[in-house]
Amino acid sequence: MSESSVGAWVVDPAGSSATFASKTFWGLTTVRGTFGGLAGAGTVAGDGTVSGELVIDAAQLSTKNKVRDQHLRSADFFNVDKFPAVVVRIASTTRDGDTVTGAGTIEAGGQTQPITFTGRVAESDGAVTLTAGATVDHRALGMTWNRLGMLAGTAKGSVTARFVRG
């Protein structure tokens, strides 16, 4: 980030989104979905260190299949009655041009695990947009339902987070 990026930033919900994809039916089909809103904030320190938190609304997830969506919201997966959000905490990032890599944690369904991600950063019109993706082992988050071995052990998540001055 440039020197002018130092300071506090907040997520612009209108310019932000979160999606997921997971293999099912023994890898023959990919289920794709979207999460509800995205909120959060980040800070860029004078030394270029970036930290922040993204709060993703899991209670409003949609795969365009009502029965499947209810199951994903249940205690078998996200357990949104108790844990309505997926929280990603960013502890460190490294930037090389417009490419960024980062590490932190992801919390979903009441469980937390380390996460790493890669993505791209774009600065435009006083905003910074991070488009990043990560692979998550849902079993490590306590999401172990897997009738007849239908589900792959990982899911891919993608976030586009547009940040504006806080």
**Tens-binned pLDDT, residue by residue, of the chain (166 aa):** 556 788 999 999 999 999 999 877 655 789 999 999 999 999 988 887 889 999 999 999 999 999 999 999 999 999 999 999 999 999 999 989 999 999 999 999 999 999 999 999 999 989 999 999 999 987 788 777 676 556 667 889 999 999 999 8
Dihedral pair phi/psi, residue 120, rounded to 5° = -130, 145
Rounded to the nearest 10°, the torsion over CA 31, 34, 35, 40 is 130
Tens digit of each residue's pLDDT (9 = 90 or more) over 98-142: 999 999 999 999 999 999 999 999 999 899 999 999 999 877 887
Q: From 97, 94, 140, select the one nearest 115 (Cα to Cα).
A: 140
Residue 144: per-residue pLDDT? 73
Q: Let me know: does 154 contact 20? Beta carbons within 8 Å.
A: no
